[in-house]
Amino acid sequence: MTGVCQAAADLPSHGDRGDAFTTSSILLSNGAGHVAAAAPERARARVVKGGEMQERQDSANSASGSLAKAHPVLKAFMCGSLSGTCSTLLFQPLDLVKTRLQMLQSNVKPGTPMVGMFTMFLHVIRTENFFGLWKGVSPSFVRCVPGVGIYFSTFYSLKQHFIQDHSPNAGQAVLLGAGARTVAGVSMLPVTVIKTRFESGRFNYVSVAGALSSVYKTEGIRALFSGLTATLLRDAPFSGIYVMFYSQAKKALPQEVSCTVYVPLANFGCGVVAGVLASLVTQPADVVKTHIQVSTLPFSMSQAIRYIYTETGLWGFFRGALPRSLRRTLMAAMAWTVYEQLMARMGLKS
């Protein structure tokens, strides 16, 4: 009985229950007020965030729209520049090794063992470190990125102007490739000279701009265009032969291959075959060009040819053929594959 009475005494009285109910109501109403006050702020935040997302989407659509409205030649230039960026970065070590092998001719004595590509790779890594293989990559970028863009935009313009209704035959492909390469080669020749000197290891240039200024002040404007004839004899035939073999190899592909997802791989394979053949044909001109451009003395093409033949014989004209063939072949195959895929995405026929 006592326990029951004690339990009854512990229960809150009617007044106490009223106070507790009132306190709970106040707390609930305050909480609801905070929620109600926060709701408009969250709504405003969602509106602001949605507006920012819509603004970004509109700017992206505007950029893609302006790109879609760009002139086809400009599109070809952008596609070519992007493909040139990828291939230049990947294959710069092969270009450096090729230049070093060609420069060995000046110091070779009779009976000296022949230095190969892998030996030169290891030598550069041991004496300069691994990233020494990318020495000269700055002028290579300055030369190749706009140079490849100029090449492909010129190629596209010539093709649209002279050959609109059909694929070029072998002769037309040679002329298209050679003409486009001539324009690009002459435009970028001063940077080509600097790139070759960077890679030779004989000059202590700090930057491309500084090298251009130094050569101009000490050797004159003519030095920046040294090796023009040899460069054109190397690049124009290479590009012409490459485009001819590349276009003919693509025509020979089976129809079932041309309509599958393996088209980029098939195009790359055609480019490799074309690049090997074109590289071997133009290798002697590349050796002559290198000797003229790294020399600080005036060197005519005939003098360079006599010097190379006297010092190293006929084999000297093919020194550095392996790294050059690898680089030019892989670089051209990648550049053409990337270029054609990008042009297809833009709705243009390359």
Instruction: Report pLDDT digits (tens) over 278-323.
Output: 998 889 988 888 888 887 777 788 888 998 898 888 888 888 888 8
d(Cα 41, Cα 12) in Å, to the nearest integer? 41
Confidence label for 44 from pLDDT (cuts 50, 70 and 90): low
Which carries the bigger pLDDT value, residue 52 or residue 102?
102
Do 245 and 209 touch, CB atoms closer than 8 A? no
Q: Biggest alpha carbon distance in the chain? A: 130
Check residue 13 and give its pLDDT: 47
Length of the chain: 350
- Any idea what DSSP says for residue 185? H
Q: What is the pLDDT of residue 23?
A: 46
Q: Of 10-14, 83-87, 222-226, 239-243, where does mean pLDDT reach its minimum? A: 10-14
The span from the first CA to the last CA of the chain, in angstroms, equals: 103
Task: Evaluate if residue 246 carries a pLDDT over 60.
Answer: yes
CA angle 10/13/19 to nearest 5° reads 120
The more confident residue out of 201 and 252 is 252
Q: Determine the Cα–Cα distance for residues 302 and 5; give it in Å rounded to an integer.
A: 127
Cα 165 to Cα 185: distance, rounded to the nearest angstrom: 28
Looking at every residue in the chain, the average pLDDT score rounds to 78
So what's the pLDDT on residue 144?
83
What is the pLDDT at residue 56? 57
In the three-class reduction of DSSP (H, G, I as helix; E, B as strand; rest coil), residue 188 is classed as coil
By the 10 Å C-beta count (0-12 exposed, 13-18 middle, 19+ buried), 83 is classed as buried
Q: What is the DSSP letter of 11?
A: S
* DSSP secondary structure, 218-230, as one string: HH-HHHHTTTHHH
The residues, ordered by sequence, that sit 6+ positions from 324 with a Cβ below 8 Å of its Cβ are: 94, 95, 98, 279, 283, 286
Res 180: pLDDT: 95
Q: Choose the weakest-confidence range: 17-21, 181-185, 280-284, 325-329.
A: 17-21
Per the rule left: phi > 0, alpha: psi between -120 and 50, beta: everything else, 237 is: alpha
Q: What percent of the chain has pLDDT over 90?
A: 14
* Residue 338 CB neighbours (<10 A): 22
Q: Mean pLDDT across the stretch 191-203?
A: 84
pLDDT at residue 55, as a whole number: 56
Confidence at residue 53, expressed as pLDDT on a 0 to 100 scale = 55
Q: Compute the average pLDDT of residues 240-264.
A: 83
Contacts of 5 (CB under 8 A, 6+ apart): none
Residue spans of the domains in the chain: they are: 13-60, 72-345
pLDDT digits (tens, 9 = 90+) for 17-41: 445 444 444 444 454 444 445 555 5
DSSP 122-144: HHHHHHH-GGGGGTTHHHHHHHH
Distance of CA 10 to the CA centre of its chain: 85
Residue 100 structure tokens:
């070093």
Residues 101-154 pLDDT 10s:
877 755 555 556 667 788 888 988 999 888 888 887 888 888 888 889 999 999
The CATH homologous superfamily to which domain 72-345 belongs is Mitochondrial carrier domain (1.50.40.10)
Q: Output phi, psi for 320, to 5 deg.
A: 80, 10
Q: Is the pLDDT of residue 335 over 60?
A: yes
Q: What is the mean pLDDT of residues 254-258?
A: 75
Which pLDDT does position 337 carry in this prediction? 87
pLDDT of residue 242: 92
| Residue of higher predicted confidence among 106 and 2 | 106
Residue 158 CA to residue 332 CA, distance in Å, equals: 19
Is the pLDDT at 182 greater than 90? The verdict is yes
Please check the confidence at residue 63 and state whether its pLDDT lies above 50: no
- The 10 Å CB-count burial string (b at 16+, else e) for 135-157 is bbbbbbbbbbbbbbbbbbbbbbb
Q: What is the pLDDT of residue 39?
A: 52
Q: CA-CA distance, 97 to 255, in Å (whole number)?
A: 40
pLDDT(230) > 70: yes
Closest CA to 220 of 228, 232, 212: 212
